[in-house]
Amino acid sequence: MSLQRIVRVSLEHPTSAVCVAGVETVIDIYGSVPEGTEMFEVYGTPGVDVYICPSFERSRERADTRRWHFDEGLEIVVVMNSPSNDLNDSHVQIAYHSSQESLPLAYAVLYLTCVDIALDCDLNREGGQDGNFVDKRQWVWGPEGHGAILLVNCDRDDLSSDVQDNYDQHVGCLQDLEDMSLMVLRTQGPAALFEDHRLILHTSSSDARRARVFHVCGPEDSCGAYRCVLGQDKVSYEVPRLHGDEERFFVEGLSFPDAGFPGLLSFHVTLLDDSNEDFSEAPIFTDTVVFRVAPWIMTPSTLPPLEVYVCRVRNNTGFVEAVAELARKAGCQLTVCPQTENRNDRWIQDEMELGYVQAPHKTFPVVFDSPRNGELQEFPYKRILGQDFGYVTREPRDRSVSGLDSFGNLEVSPPVVANGKEYPLGRILIGGNLPGSRGRRVTQVVRDFLHAQRVQPPVELFVDWLAVGHVDEFLSFVPAPDGKGFRMLLASPGACFRLFQEKKKRGHGRALLFEGVIGNGRVRTISINQVLSNENLISFNKFVQSCIDWNREVLKRELGLADRDIIDIPQLFKSERRKATAFFPDLVNMLVLGQHLGIPKPFGPLINGRCCLEEQVRALLEPLGLHCTFIDDFTPYHMLHGEVHCGTNVRRQPFSFKWWHMVP
């Protein structure tokens, strides 16, 4: 970036100037002109390209082709492409002519010293530094785009530290550098020039609050060599030339994109001329690079699982054993949060959401800690935050949260195309109220954070009809070998009533729900006939079906789905204080581990010794190559208004698609 460098020449004595390789310098010849001048000639020494350019046009012509009529509309433009070896080792000579004289009226000489200054980073997103990129001031999305990427350094690589890496101003261990982006300042030119010229690395005060820069000031294998030079209250730094032509910097992000911060950060290096004792420093040239802070990205249930989390509490031993067996079949690591740490808070899905951040040089998982702050509130920070595992949270200042702020109410779809727009990383799904109503919504700070990530634009669904109010109570996604590569499962009272009516017609009206529920005397069995004759239950489930149908149409529109992409899973709900809860264990609230599904055991009517609800779910899902395992969660979860998905969490493989290749 040139600062429109204009140099004025003098007839009385030679003038000197500094120019930057590849950057145009304009020579002002109109301030001191011999009387009678009608034409002029311009010549440059080898390596100096001189052009004549009408100031109001973009076209230009080499200056050394002819004499030029003296016209104040002309500009002399000088370009040098190679740095000088010595001070003033090149020059431009201007000869002023009159038609009345055979010899020039006068000469003016401008001595030039060329330096090459470049602030470089991974502009082409290939893990290196591209010093020849054209427009470093722009950050462009898409597969043909350009612009560097910065990770929020929100993990804790130094295990002796009590805080995340982006909360301190030092490099605690060399592994910490892997989470930063390299920025290189390259300078070429005579060393003597920098005796009265300074290089200043700088940024804005707002950007300094969101990123930190370390200068390598010693051996790179020593943590003490990395000096914090920009960040927080440090907005400028005079760069010493410690390593000759190249100075290396490491940049870390401090903040994710959020309300008021679109994620773009700029760093500049400016060459200042301090050679004139009678004037203040003058800027000669500024080079700029722009980084975009990598967004936090959610992973849908259709991505391969890596690690399953579950809490051990006083009455869920069988549940933990079943989840462990399912994880073993799926080839996943299992992490069990002991009761001493969860203090009987079993809702690990509600406490956190596991996603990741990615740059060309590094990818690592990041846990998003919900603002619900139950007894599990310390688990994400104390047990998950660590080496190459980051942490982020958002809490309202007044700490006013509702049940909708638990992360069972935060899901993401698989990749979709909707209304001609591609969403290669899917779309975030959160639950709220109907437009214009005063019901519950996700707290503003969480909504702001999710929208600001941009790569998974959120869709808000209607969940305020549910007592708990989570999207995972009526939908989930499973992988499929055909179509869009997945199916969306929706809870369906209508499908359940149709199933029960079919069983009644076949003479099974007396078959009982809830037979075999162990250790819970509060549960009474109920027959198919009793369900189908319960007008209150039927009426309430018609209301529930209307709410789900409203969401169905939103999901079809916003995710580009057709009815063939949706599977209706039989499910009934009951009314508690005019809100809905699952009548029997909620079948869509499942744990998806690749082809292995951990589904709440519904304890449906037994027909010929088999649960007809389980048989129906198998018939719907097993043709997709899925394996259904029904897990008894009745007493430890269902009776507390939760199910298998609510009581588990999964870290998954990141998308193979790179987020910077999309166009939001």
Instruction: Show which residues are catalytic.
Output: 350, 470, 472, 646
| 237 Cα distance to chain centroid | 29
Q: Which residues contact 576 (CB under 8 A, 6 or more apart)?
A: 467
Helix 493-505 with 612-621: angle, nearest 10 deg: 120
Amino acid at 506: R
Query: Which contacts (CB < 8 Å, 24+ apart) does range 191-195 have?
Result: 191/241, 192/86, 192/87, 193/18, 193/87, 193/113, 193/115, 194/241
- Regarding beta strands 106-120 and 333-337, do their DSSP bridges make them parallel or antiparallel, or are they unpaired? unpaired
Rounded-to-5 percentages of helix, strand, coil across the chain: 20, 35, 45
Q: What count of other Cβ atoms lies within 10 Å of the Cβ of residue 420?
A: 6
Apex 217 CA angle, 213 and 219, nearest 5 = 120
Q: What is the 3-state secondary structure (H, E, C) of 138-194?
A: CCCCCCCCCCEEECECCCCCCCCCCCCHHHCCCCCCHHHHHHCEEEEEEEECCHHHH
Q: CA end-to-end span of the chain, whole Å?
A: 28
| Helices and strands in the chain: count of H runs, count of E runs | 10, 43
Q: 327, 333 in Cβ contact below 8 A?
A: yes
The upper half-sphere exposure of residue 528, i.e. CA atoms within 13 Å in the direction of its Cβ, equals 23
C-alpha–C-alpha distance, residues 139 and 141, integer Å: 7
Strand-by-strand arrangement of the 648-652 sheet: 333-337, 305-311, 648-652
Residue with tokens 């819970």: 520
C-alpha–C-alpha distance, residues 276 and 77, integer Å: 24
Amino acid at 402: S
Q: Radius of gyration over alpha carbons of the chain, in Å?
A: 34
Phi and psi based region of residue 573 (left: phi greater than 0; alpha: psi -120 to 50; beta: remaining): beta
| Burial (CB count <10 Å: 0-12, 13-18, 19+), residue 172 | middle
The pair phi, psi for residue 598, each rounded to 5°, is: -100, 105
Q: Give the alpha-carbon dihedral of 491, 495, 496, 501, to 10 degrees.
A: 170
Q: E strands of 424-471, at which residues? A: 428-432, 459-462
Q: Helix, strand or coil for residue 77?
A: strand
Query: Which contacts (CB < 8 Å, 24+ apart) does range 507-514 have?
Result: 508/605, 508/607, 508/612, 511/605, 511/606, 511/607, 511/612, 512/605, 512/606, 513/584, 513/603, 513/604, 513/605, 514/584, 514/603
Element (H, E) at 536: helix 535-559
Q: What would the two tokens of residue 183 be?
A: 């920025």
Apex 62 CA angle, 58 and 68, nearest 5 = 90
